[in-house]
């Protein structure tokens, strides 16, 4: 069915100048509108209602006209109808100017499976979100069993960053590509990973940020920078156990020892204080001294009275040691 064409209008008479055939021309013009033009309009309407050659025939198995197709007839239209070259070939097709498929680069879909053989060490990967596991994903996978990693390229491919998220422990790691090699994976810390067991390798922290512990000897805290603090309490017994209350021989408790709740790497700074629950200010003027300290504890500790008071009290020694665990 060809597209209908309209015929030329007959000459239009002019009233401004007398024309002998004015009536004839007016009659012809009227006849053209009444018959020829009307028929041509009807033909155009028929064409629009039934014709499909305006877009090259049936589309998606549906004839297209003025009142067709019915609602919803295009819902099954394939992306290829827009042109195969205009659409991504796969979810990682990085060619410029293409329409994205669902799930492209992790957007709107699941991360790409490691079954595709993608290596996590490939610094030239298209930007996107990928899955990994230690069994099937080539490359240097961060600690853990499986998870997701996000790959981002910067500076025209000369730099790349990766963020890996472990599924089993909620741990997050990051590393970067320098242009020739990957850095080691660096761990992010959050409220669930700040506290734990601290560790180190060559002076570089590899575990938690803070470690807190206690045992029969007292309590301790270790920090990722190597600092360690220990503290404990010991009932020192009678202040009148040793001495005669003079300046040369002040009253003191019997000697006692304290094993640190955690060992140090070298000699710590030892200090202490003593508190008595009863007595006057002179009765409770007390000090703590130790004559031997090593990395595991302090020995020959005494609580000494600093006045000549002869009242008996049983002070509690509050002991502290500060040093390094590595």
Rounded percentage of the chain residues whose pLDDT exceeds 70: 81
pTM of the model: 0.62
What CATH architecture is 210-324?
A: Sandwich (2.60)
Task: List the one residue out of 324, 273, 320, 326 whose CA is nearest residue 297.
Answer: 320
What average pLDDT does the segment 182-188 reach?
90
Separation between Cα atoms, residue 147 and residue 162, nearest integer Å? 13
Mean pLDDT of 300-308: 96
DSSP letter assigned to residue 55? G
Task: Count H helices and E strands in the chain, helices first.
Answer: 2, 15
Residue 235: pLDDT band (50, 70, 90) is very high
Question: Domain limits of the chain?
Answer: 1-74, 101-188, 210-324
Q: How far is CA 109 from the centre of its chain?
A: 18
Q: What's the rounded Cα separation, in Å, for the pair 113 and 248?
A: 81
DSSP 237: -
Higher-pLDDT residue of 262, 140: 262
Average pLDDT rounded to a whole number, residues 150-159 = 79
């Amino acid at each position: 069915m060809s597209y209908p064409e309209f015929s030329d209008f007959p000459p239009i008479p002019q009233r401004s100048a007398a024309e002998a055939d004015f009536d004839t021309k007016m009659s012809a013009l009227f006849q053209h509108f009444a018959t020829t033009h009307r028929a041509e309009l009807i033909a155009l309407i028929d064409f629009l209602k039934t014709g499909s050659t305006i877009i090259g025939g049936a589309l998606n198995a549906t004839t297209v006209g003025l009142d067709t197709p019915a609602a919803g007839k295009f819902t099954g239209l394939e992306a290829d109808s827009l042109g195969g070259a205009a659409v991504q070939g796969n979810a990682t097709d990085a060619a410029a100017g293409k329409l994205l498929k669902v799930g492209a680069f992790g957007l709107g879909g699941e991360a790409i499976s490691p079954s595709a053989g993608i290596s996590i060490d490939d610094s030239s990967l298209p930007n996107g979100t990928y899955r990994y596991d230690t069994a099937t994903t080539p490359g240097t996978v961060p600690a853990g069993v499986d998870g997701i990693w996000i790959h981002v390229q910067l500076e025209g491919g000369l730099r790349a960053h990766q963020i890996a998220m472990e599924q089993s422990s909620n741990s997050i790691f990051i590393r970067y590509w320098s242009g020739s090699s990957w850095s080691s994976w660096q761990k992010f810390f959050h409220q669930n990973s700040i506290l734990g067991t601290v560790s180190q390798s060559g002076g570089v922290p590899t575990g938690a940020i803070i470690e807190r512990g206690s045992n029969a000897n007292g309590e301790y805290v270790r920090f990722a920078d190597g600092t360690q603090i220990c503290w404990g309490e010991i009932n020192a017994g009678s202040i009148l156990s040793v001495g005669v209350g003079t300046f040369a021989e002040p009253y003191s408790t019997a000697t006692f020892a304290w094993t640190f709740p955690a060992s140090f790497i070298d000699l710590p700074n030892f200090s202490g204080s003593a508190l008595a629950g009863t007595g006057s200010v002179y009765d409770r003027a007390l000090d703590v001294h130790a004559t031997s300290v090593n990395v595991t504890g302090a020995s020959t500790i005494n609580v000494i009275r600093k006045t000549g008071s002869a009242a008996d009290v049983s002070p509690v020694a509050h002991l502290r040691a500060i040093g390094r665990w590595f």
